[in-house]
Amino acid sequence: MQKVFDDVHALDKRCVDKFGLSEELLMEHAAASMMQYIRGKFSNNEKILIVCGAGNNGADGIALARLLYSQYDVSILVPYHVKSAMAKLQYKRANLLGVNIIDTLSVLSLEHGPDVIVDCLFGSGLNRDLDDESQRLLTRLNSRCGHKIACDIPSGINKQGQVTTVGFCADITITMGALKTQLYSDVAKDYTGNIIVSDLGVHRSIYETATNTFLLDSADIKLPLRIKQNSHKGSFGHLSVIVGNKTGAGIIAAEAAFAFGAGLVTVITEQEVNVPYHIMQTSILPENCTAVAIGMGLGHDRKAQVKQILNRDIAKVVDADLFHNDVILTVLNSENVVLTPHPKEFCSLLKRTKLAEITVVELQNNRFKYVRLFAVNYPQTVLLLKGANSLITYNNIIYINPLGSNALSKGGTGDVLTGLIAALLAQGYSAVNATITASLAHCMSATNYPKNNYSLTPMDVIEGVKVL
């Protein structure tokens, strides 16, 4: 788990005030870390184009050019007059050294384009929409071949993680000091490439302060591996899955839960459904059940039964249709409840809770803002907002799961996730731990899937969690 920050300006300032570092020293480290990355990957004399803006993001790039000069065939493209004091200083140094400085892309030959393009146009100082010239430049850079590195933040991604017009499409983002939330908006996922952090003169653990946002990784998974031999099916919980009108959703969730370790799984249904032999079925909730999954394919019937089940003091995952029903309000802020909405369902939840009345576009543009709003009002409820980077919140902390894959954009994969979370709740995991592990397992299964990414089925995801 790594720390993530909304803004690192205060952390930069703290380095200067508390540890006596200077802005120049921080910048030297930023440039050196990009140099190290390039040296580790590219041989001498490769062609490197560094595109530098007027502020300190540009200054990082100009300093990088100085460090790479003579070992590589370096050019810096400076399309606007440098403005910040550091950019002016770095520009003067690069000039004295004889670095090739150009002001337009067209002077570079198309046939022998650069092997590496480093984007240092805008970083954290982007404070307005890109003008036509910057848009054209970024579009042309994106269309060029070559390994693409973004310095700090891909140009065009704003503070909220939105790309309003064009953004630099990087293979890797080398971000300065610490991870930033804007790099983990859903939109940003198509621009950042891999993300690594550069130290800025002190080790990252010293640079970073306290935060309430964390980035999950595969090491955070805690699989329900069985330890004790002296066990029986009851040792691993009994999950009830409420099956609704669309019976497939509940059956997929039940299958997923069985594969993820639940000792017993029963589907609760008023009609006879076709389930595998190892899944039981009945019409009322068994007394000994240890968790419930409800909402998937439910439709809007059975209101009395749904209310009764939601009122039972038992761990539950609530999904899908229930976010469009005021009955959801009865479970908010009770312990051991996990909500797993997709963006449209989350908008409905926000409306029902009277926290906000917004469109899906507004939500997607401000995912962190609205998840935090929910978290502040319902700190005891675990929320998992689905997306390219799913956000999980509990107790005012946000966990980002960046491992999502486009292969999961398929009907039925959400039902698998519900089943995985419910399986862990049934086995006694806390709501937040169940959600973190299930969400990671779901994504890791999709990532490990060996066939083409368009072909993944919910059953493949279930198969994948068996071999993590």
Ligand X SMILES: NC(=O)C1=CN([C@@H]2O[C@H](COP(=O)(O)OP(=O)(O)OC[C@H]3O[C@@H](n4cnc5c(N)ncnc54)[C@H](O)[C@@H]3O)[C@@H](O)[C@H]2O)[C@@H](O)CC1
List residues binding K ion (CB under 5 A).
119, 123, 150-151, 155
Q: Which of residues 61-120 bind ligand X (CB under 6 A)?
A: 83-84
Binding part of the chain for ligand X, among 151-159, 348-356, 363-371, 416-424 by CB under 6 A, reads 151-159
With contact defined as beta carbons under 8 Å apart, do 3 and 208 qualify?
yes
125 marked as part of a ligand binding site: yes
Stretch that binds ligand X, among 33-41, 124-132, 188-196, 439-447 (CB under 6 A): 124-132
Distance CA 366, CA 346 (A): 13
Distance in angstroms (rounded) separating the CA atoms of residues 273 and 5: 48
The stretch near ligand X (CB under 6 A) out of 57-65, 293-301, 308-316, 399-407 is: 57-65
Burial class (CB in 10 A: 0-12, 13-18, 19+), 177: buried
In order of 32, 38, 200, the CA distances from 29 in angstroms are 5, 14, 5
φ, ψ dihedrals at 414, nearest 5°? -65, -35
- 127's contact among K ion, ligand X, none, with CB below 5 to 8 A by partner kind, is ligand X
Q: How many chain residues bind ligand X (CB under 6 A)?
A: 30
For the range 361-368, what are the long-range contacts, defined as Cβ-Cβ under 8 Å and sequence gap of 24 or more?
Answer: 364/185, 364/186, 364/187, 365/160, 365/162, 365/185, 365/187, 366/160, 367/161, 367/185, 367/186, 367/391, 368/6, 368/160, 368/161, 368/181, 368/185, 368/213, 368/398
Q: Considering CB distances under 5 to 8 angstroms, the limit depending on partner class, which of K ion, ligand X, none binds residue 119?
A: K ion
With contacts defined by CB under 6 A, name the span among 130-138, 233-241, 247-255, 328-336 that binds ligand X: 130-138
Q: How far is the CB of 299 from ligand X (least distance, A)?
A: 48
Cβ proximity to ligand X, 68 vs 350, nearer residue: 68
Identify the residue among 46, 51, 53, 148 touching ligand X (CB under 6 A).
Answer: 53
Task: Note whether 24 binds ligand X by CB under 6 A.
Answer: no
Report the largest interatomic distance among the alpha carbons of the chain, rounded to a whole angstrom.
82
Is 128 marked within a binding site?
yes
Q: Which part of the chain contacts ligand X (CB under 6 A), choosing from 47-55, 203-211, 369-377, 431-439?
A: 47-55
Choices 150-158, 160-168, 215-223, 297-305; region in contact with ligand X by CB under 6 A: 150-158
The 8-class DSSP code of residue 423 comes to H
Give the strand pairing for 264-268 and 238-242: parallel
Considering beta carbons, is residue 57 or 401 the nearer one to ligand X?
A: 57
- Residue whose CB is less far from ligand X, 157 or 338: 157
Cβ at position 87, least distance to ligand X in Å: 7
Q: Which does 339 bind (CB under 5 to 8 A by kind): K ion, ligand X, none?
A: none
3-class DSSP assignment, residue 77:
strand
Using CB under 6 A as the binding rule, whether residue 125 contacts ligand X is answered as yes
CA distance 402 to 449: 17
Query: How far apart (Å, rounded) are the C-alpha atoms in residues 169 and 22?
Result: 31
CB of 73 to ligand X, least distance (A): 24
For the chain, state the CA radius of gyration: 26
CB of 457 to K ion, least distance (A): 39
Query: Any known ligand binding at 130?
Result: no
Whole-number Å distance between alpha carbons of 377 and 387: 22
Using CB distances below 5 to 8 A depending on partner kind, what does residue 216 bind out of ligand X, K ion, none? Answer: none
Question: Across the chain, how many H-helices and E-strands are there?
Answer: 15, 19
Partner whose binding site includes residue 155, from ligand X, K ion, none (CB under 5 to 8 Å by kind) = K ion
One of 3, 4, 5, 12 touching ligand X (CB under 6 A): 12
Q: Is 377 annotated as a binding residue?
A: no
* Residue 57 sits in the site that holds ligand X (CB under 6 A): yes
Nearest alpha carbon to residue 434 among 423, 450, 445: 423
Query: Does residue 138 bind ligand X (CB under 6 A)?
Result: no
From CA 402, how far away is CA 189, in angstroms rounded? 9
Please state at what angle helix 458-465 crosses helix 247-259, rounded to 10 degrees: 20
Please report, in range form, the residues annotated as the binding site for (6S)-NADPHX.
56-60, 123-129, 152, 249, 297, 342, 415
- Annotated binding-site residue numbers for K(+): 57, 119, 155
Residues annotated in a binding site for AMP? 386-390, 414
